[in-house]
């Protein structure tokens, strides 16, 4: 799913890596928000 999403968003090879990084960043932000609230 992430690979497909990455390919759809970014055609370049680093799309998958970017997708994973974005996912990790989003998770971290969500955890921070949950911790704050």
Beta carbons of 21 and 15 less than 8 angstroms apart = no
Residue 27: the pLDDT is 95
pLDDT in tens, 1-37: 445 555 555 555 666 777 888 999 999 999 999 998 7
Please report the pLDDT score of residue 1 as a whole number.
44
The pLDDT score that the predictor gives to residue 25 is 95
At residue 23, the pLDDT reads 92
Whole-number pLDDT of residue 14: 63
* Distances, alpha carbon 8 to alpha carbons 3, 18, 28, in Å: 8, 12, 24
Cα–Cα distances in angstroms (integers) from residue 25 to residues 9, 15, 19, in the given order: 17, 15, 10
């Amino acid at each position: 799913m992430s690979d497909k999403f990455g390919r759809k968003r970014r055609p370049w090879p680093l799309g998958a890596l970017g997708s994973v990084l974005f996912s990790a960043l989003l998770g971290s932000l969500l955890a921070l928000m949950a911790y704050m609230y």
